[in-house]
Structure 1
Amino acid sequence: MQFIPRTIFLPLLLLVFFILSDTHFLYAQKKKKSRTEYENQRKNELQKIESAQKILKETQQEKEVTVSQVKALAEAIAGQERLIRLIQKEIKITDGELRESESIVIALQGDLKKLKDEYGKMIYTSSKSMNQKQRLMFLFASNSFNQLRMRMKYLKQYTESRKSQMMEIDKIQNMLGKEIEELNDRKNEKSRLLAQEIMEQKKLSQSRNQKDHFVKELKSMESKLKKEIRFREAQVRKLDTLIDSIIKEEMRKKKEKEAKIGRTPEADVISNAFAKNKGSMLWPVANGFISKEFGVREHPVFRDVKIENNGVDIQTYKGEVARCVHKGKVVTIASVPGMEQTVIVEHGDYYTVYANLQNVVVKPGVTLNFKDEIGTVFTDKNGKTELQFQVWKDKNKLDPQSWLMKK
């Protein structure tokens, strides 16, 4: 069996250590990026939960339980569930980091012991073989000046090698100290995440109980609420009929104009610019959540009731401003009893509809730019502030949720 000389063993050990250190550094950077992404998602979910809870608080100003409260609670619950899943993923990452740090600490401690043992043997051998007096005798015993110079060079290199090895040992000791510190940080992080998970699970349980209580109360008023639902559906149908007729009339006028002078390049530019916004469109309100989705959906309380929606309803804060999602021209402003004021904006072949507004600040024919204010979203007697938002292409109704950017 061949043994590696000490003069080769130490540099090789240090080289292996630094290669492993670089690998660990890259792994740690990847973990850090993943952790940062989860932390950002967690902050985003907390903001959504706070927003839903604020909306819920505004709707609870009246004593009577309402469907809008159930929707706000459902949004908060969904946010809490997503938050808990993110925390659990972070705990899993932290567990992996703990195992990685523990293995590195053990490896470093083993390597450091080997380095110290080798260095100790070197010092012991050196002290046995040659003291200060013997070194002088070694130099004076030179047969020539050239031999003297070579022996001096050898002693200098030997001394520098010992100093260098001691410096490397110090470096590894410092790295070991930092790794232990990082290990302790990970342990503290895991404890914090576990405590947060317990707290969020408790909040989630409270929200679910509150929602169940609200649903039970609403079901006790089934007859009254179903009557309100039918009345609301009649109002919505009037609004949809009005919007449909207005858009068809606008299309008729546009075709007549194009038949006379041809289609303008500007119309294509506006249409194409609007189409590119799909999936990244600005929300028509700065805050809020989608309380009723596009198409035919089950009622959130009465499962036997189906509700059709030509757009999306967005519950938001009291006094929230509706804003234009893309550059366009105001086609019309109309009023429908129970739906307040409605503004329709043309974007080439596309139209956006903003319904249930009060204090409208725009006029027909006015060109609006991105984020321009249209009006204030109406708040009803129950404290519900909800915008009805629609997207059309010519006479076809589109799902606005597929156009809006993800929050």
Structure 2
Amino acid sequence: SYIILFILLSFVTPTFPQVEQIDDKKVELDRIKGEISELEIELEEEIALEKESVKVLENYNKQSFLLNKIINNFRREEQDKKVRINNRNRNIKSIEAEIKILKENYAAYVVSIYKKGKISEFESVIDSESLQQAILRVQYLKKFSERREKDLEELVIKKDELETAKALLQQEINEKKLLAEQKKAEEEVLQTKLVERKKILNNIRQDKDKLQATLNTKKEAQSRIKNIIAKLIEEEEKRKLQLASVDGTDIIEEHSGIEYDLNTTSFSSFAQMKGEMLWPIHEGKIIGKFGENKNSVLNTVTLNYGIDIEAKEDNNVRCVAEGIVSAIDWLPGYGSVIIISHNEDYRTVYGHLEEIFVQEGDKVNVGTVLAKVGESVDGKVLHFEIWKARLNRDPELWLAKK
């Protein structure tokens, strides 16, 4: 019947937004893989010209960033599939429960007919003591018969629905398995890159000229971080103007084809955390102070916009305050970088990251593990900054005293 066809189509046919979302993800994946291929070509040329240079290191760093991005996307899709599979299982159990009830009702009807026989409308009229009773009996038998027929039709529909649900469940399971295999393959590629990158790092650590070159790239990165912060502030100011123009209705920002809410006003006060803030690295040690830092090996003075925290056994990088992941980028000198927007126009910056677990638009809490700290020429060191609007602050004054 048309009812059965409609129900089946409603389960099988994906909605247009889902199709568009899958297409967007594929385009993004192809773009990232294309960028990695271009970097591979550049890497071969760079190695041929000057093996183990800072430029080669940054090439490896960017490839690692892009591979991590692919892995993170696979990880998120895998988690989404897990939720969908759980929902499918719940739906199947619900349908099976409905089928059980329908079967029990129909079985009771069949047993009743077997024991008492099927009473016709004519028999019920003849057997009645009055005309009113006869009319009521006829109406009851008609409704009872219609209900049983409806139960039988519904039982057929539910069985078809169950088969469709089981087929969709198996499809989700197969897709989840494929995602796990793809993620594993990319992780193996990343591990290979990290081993190669470590060799380059060891070489650079023994060469003063190359160490100086890494400091120069960090100076450039500082300017780029400042520009990203300025851009985020401009976007926030634009959002506030839009909010004012639509009588307080929430504005959803669009970024990289993904929509998410960047409003931070509902979050806890950032300013009140000064002096009591969670350390982004558990049991970390500050080896690079805020402001001017002298490099004893190179005998140079550099300006640090934040602090550098050496990791010991725990390499997890934790969010220091409630906020929204507003930017994830790669910067020469600082590698993979995350910027979190907080309440009261504060932002925190986390650099030298190796494995990232969050995505832009994610809401994070105090202690949320954002990433793992990566290895730089200084070792396993996290670069950490705090900004109030366009002014950077000394993070050491904000962190809880040990």
Scaled to the shorter chain, the TM-score interval is: 0.3 to 0.5
Is the radius of gyration larger for structure 1 or structure 2?
1
| TM-score for the superposition, normalised by structure 2 | 0.44
